[in-house]
Structures are given as C-alpha cells and as structure tokens.
Amino acid sequence: MAVETVKTENSDVGTGKTWVDYIQKDLPEHLEWWPYTLGAIPLTLFGILVTTGLLLTFYYVPASDQAYESVDRITHEIYLGWFVRGLHKTSVDLMILFLLFHVIRVFMTRAYQSGGELKWVSGSIVLFVTLAMGFTGYSLVYDNVSYWGMTVVTNMVGTLPIIGRPLLHLLRGGEEVSGVTLLRLYDLHTKLLPVLLGGLALGHVVTVRLLGFTTVPGSREYHQFYPEHTMKMGAVAVGLLLFMVDLVMIFPPVLGPPANLQEVASDVSPPWYFSAPFMWISLLPGPMALWSLMAGAGLFVLYPFVDRVLAERGWPMTFINGAVAATAVGAMVVLMYLDLQG
C-alpha cells in the first residue's frame, strides 16, 4: 500500500456556514476507503462505554471494603452483569486499539500538515485522556492487581519534580493508597474525565470539520455526508457492536483475587495498553524511564511542528514517518512480548 502525503483542504473557519451546510457538504471520495473511517470507531465505542458505564454505576460501590464485592456481584449475580461489564471492558480495549490505528493512519499520511496541527494536538489529548480513563477504570475493580497498580502509578506521579508530591497527595487524598484514593479515582473515572473526554472528542470532531478533511491527490468531492456517509458509519457501528457481543461471550470478564495489602500480586502486569510502558519502566533505571516516557509524549503532541521544521530542511518526511511508525509499533510489540514472558 503506497501511502501518499496528503494536504488539508481549504479551511471553513469564518465562512459563516450553518451546521446544515456541514451535514449536506460532500466529502472527498477517499473517505470511502476504510482506513479513513478509523476515527469514527472510537467515537462509537465511547458511546457504548458511556451507556454501559452508566449501567455499572447503579451497582458499583466506590468504598474500599465493598468495591471488590460489588464488582463480584456484577460479574456473577446480577442479570447480564457479566455482559455489561464485559462490554465495558471490551469497548476500552477496542477504543484504544482503534485510536492507535487512527493515529498511525494520520501519522503515515502526514494529515496533520499545513493547518491541520490543531487536529493532531486535540486528538493526541483525547488519546491521553482515554488512557487516563483506562487507568482509573481498572483501579476501580480493586482486585490485587489493580490495588498494586494504583500504588505503582500514583508513586510514579510522585516522582515528578516539584508538582509530583502535591499531585500524589491530591490523587491519593493522603499519604497512602486508601478508600479516599478509590473514591477520588472513581470520581475522576465517572465524572470529571468522561465530561472532559466527551468535550474534547466533540471539539476534535468539530475541529476536523472546520479545518477540513485531508485531501488526497485525485480524490474528488462527491461522497455525500448525509445520507451516504452516515449510513456507512451506522453500518460500521452495528457491525462493531455485533462483533463485540461475540467477543464478550467468548471472553467473559474475569476477576482476580481481592486486594491484599500485605502481599503484592504475583503478576502485576497492567492491561495490554500499558504493558509496553510498564516493561520500559522495569528495564530502565530510576527516573530515566519516566523522563523518557514524558519526553516521548511531548514529542508526540508536538510532532506536526517537528515535521514542519524538518520538512523545510528537505528531509524526506514520508519515509521518516514510515520508519518512525514501524520502529514505535515494533518496540511496543517487543516490550509487550517481554512483559508476557516475564
């Protein structure tokens, strides 16, 4: 598959169009090609997450002595509880997976260029908030892995210079991981972060519509947004939901042993989307690991500007991006493999 460098179409900022104009506006025909629909899948999954998450809050109790039992009851006693929890869990896994695919597509086609920087920056914040949702979510289960995961991650926050200690106290609500910590992570997971993520995702979509889709050479505008494109999105959403129902039935959610404050879980491996950074922390000594992760995240957010500077000096960015993406994905796979082995 030859990846062609793309450009952003003319911006609509300040043209006084109404939202009806956007619905009726034709899209470039390359949006029919499936890699260009990858962004809509995480949005659909976010909807499923909100729905199932709302259902789960009716039974979940965010107290350290009842959290595990309530998750146990949801998983084993309540009618279709295992299914709702499974759907919630599978949606997170798939949301992050498809966000990564979406990022790779945008990265490979350099769709963040010339006016598209805001699309990239807003999207990368959406990715980070989604990862924060993943962390706070798996902490709520309060089994042994999630308890020690909570301890490790909050400690890691505490090693940041200057803001580290106050931020650690803010997250934990005290010196130690306790019931207050669980309540705080619960509030973050069910109130602050979802509202933030919803707003950011909406902002990202509006930004993309206002700044315009990327244009691919030879792609003419004839693909209708409504009803053609919306129909297609709907079909993708329904197909996705069916696929997920199958996934949940084949891999129902499990629950580890309850949190043990006296003994660390024998395997503290986090969910797959954190296993590469987890392994990275294990391999590098001390603060180096955290620093390199933060530098990587910063570089990720600011990549469009790095690209512009390098491209102006005549660097072959299409080739470089391909190499960077291949290296990043390769490194992630190797680190995940090491985590599985260890």
Partner 1 sequence: MAIIHDDVGRRRFLSQAVMGFGMVFGMGALGLRFLQFLLPNGAPRQPETVLIGSESRIPLGEAVPMDLGGQKILVLRTDEGVAAFSRRCTDLGCLVSWNRERGQFICPCHQGTFDKTGLNVSGPPPRPLDRLDIVKRGDQLYVNVKSA
Shorter beta-carbon distance to partner 1: residue 1 or 162: 162
Q: What residues does 258 pair with on adjacent strands?
A: 143
Shorter beta-carbon distance to partner 1: residue 134 or 277: 277
Cα(337)–Cα(30) distance, rounded to whole angstroms? 35
- Of the ranges 42-50, 154-162, 233-241, 292-300, which one interacts with partner 1 (CB under 8 A)? 154-162
- Given the structure tokens 């009851």, which residue do they identify? 73
State the minimum distance, in angstroms, from the CB of residue 7 to partner 1: 30
**CA-to-CA dists, residue 18 to 14, 21, 24, 118, 204, angstroms:** 11, 5, 10, 21, 18
Residues 6+ apart with CB under 8 A from 64: 142, 178, 179, 182, 259
Site string for partner 1, 174-203 (x = CB under 8 A): xxx---x-----------------------
- Of the ranges 27-35, 56-64, 232-240, 281-289, which one interacts with partner 1 (CB under 8 A)? 281-289
CA angle, residues 201, 135, 63, in degrees to nearest 5:
115
- Looking at 160, 192, 245, 268, which residue binds partner 1 (CB under 8 A)? 268
State the minimum distance, in angstroms, from the CB of residue 191 to partner 1: 14
Shorter beta-carbon distance to partner 1: residue 170 or 299: 170
Amino acid at 135: F
- Looking at 166, 199, 227, 296, which residue binds partner 1 (CB under 8 A)? 166
Q: What residues does 7 pair with on adjacent strands?
A: 215
Strands (E), 157-218: 214-215
- Of the ranges 24-32, 71-79, 146-154, 310-318, which one interacts with partner 1 (CB under 8 A)? 146-154
- Of the ranges 91-99, 111-119, 162-170, 212-220, which one interacts with partner 1 (CB under 8 A)? 162-170
Site for partner 1 in 246-265 (CB under 8 A): 261-265
Cα(235)–Cα(231) distance, rounded to whole angstroms? 6
Shorter beta-carbon distance to partner 1: residue 68 or 148: 148
Do 106 and 120 contact (CB within 8 A), yes or no? yes
Q: What residues does 219 pair with on adjacent strands?
A: none
Q: Which two tokens stand for residue 319?
A: 């080739």
- Looking at 284, 297, 311, 325, which residue binds partner 1 (CB under 8 A)? 284
Do 139 and 269 contact (CB within 8 A), yes or no? no
Which residues of the chain form contacts with partner 1 (CB under 8 A)?
Answer: 148, 151-152, 155-156, 159, 166, 169-170, 172-176, 180, 261-266, 268, 281-282, 284-287, 289, 342
